[in-house]
Amino acid sequence: MKTKVLFGLIIIWTFALIMLGAYVRLSDAGLGCPDWPGCYGQLTAPDEAHEIELAQQRFAGEVESIKGWIEMSHRYAAGILGLLVLVLSFTLFAQRERFAVPWWFIVLPVSVIVFQALLGMWTVTLKLMPAVVTAHLLGGMTLLAVLLALFARCFTQPHAILSGLRPWFFAALVAVFAQIMLGAWVSTNYAGLACNDFPLCQGQLSPPQGLMAAMRPDRDLGRDVSGVLLTVDHLAAIHWLHRVGAVLVLCVLGGLISKLRTLMPSLALALGAALLLQVGLGIANVLAALPLWLAVAHNGGAALLLSVLVYGYALLPRAIERPSLASTLPANMVRSPL
């Protein structure tokens, strides 16, 4: 029971951290601290007059204490999550015979967090390079998915009735994760307002020019690979591609939901509700000109949709493990090496 409570706390904390990370990014506080892991060379954001003066001298720039505190709150929350996940890993190792979970699955969340910390550092040192920031967002979503899958492995039973839906679930996971990646690319390039009409984008259905240049991962924020500033058309092309991805997700998840309606109506309802919520939030963000709270909620909607889908996938019948060679031999043929 204690392990289950710890799991629940960690999953909720991870979800909240994803929302907080979105708030940091969308409130333009990603460089609220120009160094890492501290903030202007100290453990807290500078807010006293003498601290601000010293920070300005050392880092040669304007110090915004509020943005510094926003960024540091995200780092503190991430540090606490790392400690909680480490405790969980030790707990699962101590009870691995009870849960029958492979060792690599137990250490996977810790590995993701370590890589997330590196991405957090590179986000600052590489000055919000879109590819790095996008990877950082995807890392948070991956951590949430891994934790949910691990929870399901430990505390739920497979449903044989869902065995025929494995290809549908796999296709849905790929589509949703790809769409989250496109949404992250929109957010990290600040392209959310590049298409301010709906369902058209800049008054047309076809993609604006510059899509290939805008999708290059090896470029800095706001510039193409040659260093030239991106135009509104480039940003609109990114936004347009995200909308195309939304249509694909609707088709794939719509098919999966129709299959689930008779097999597991509760899961179909949860998945359908999460999908409609996310689509509604996306449309509302365009029509309302991307208010901060609604943009953060759109990130949360993506995390919720992924969570429902991962949990459903975890309910599929597990592959039968192959017996070892020794277990298949007659007892009189299994000899001691001594």
Set 62, 71, 97, 321: catalytic member: 71
d(CA 338, CA 244): 65
Instruction: Enumerate the H helices of the chain as residue ranges.
Output: 2-26, 49-59, 65-94, 96-99, 103-125, 130-155, 166-188, 211-214, 232-263, 265-287, 292-314, 325-328
Spatial separation of the C-alpha atoms in residues 88 and 142, rounded to whole Å? 17
71 is catalytic: yes
Rg, Å, the chain Cα set: 23
CA atoms within 13 A on the CB side of 142: 17
CA distances from 89 to 79, 154, 191 (A): 15, 13, 39
- The span from the first CA to the last CA of the chain, in angstroms, equals 43
Catalytic residue positions, numbered: 71
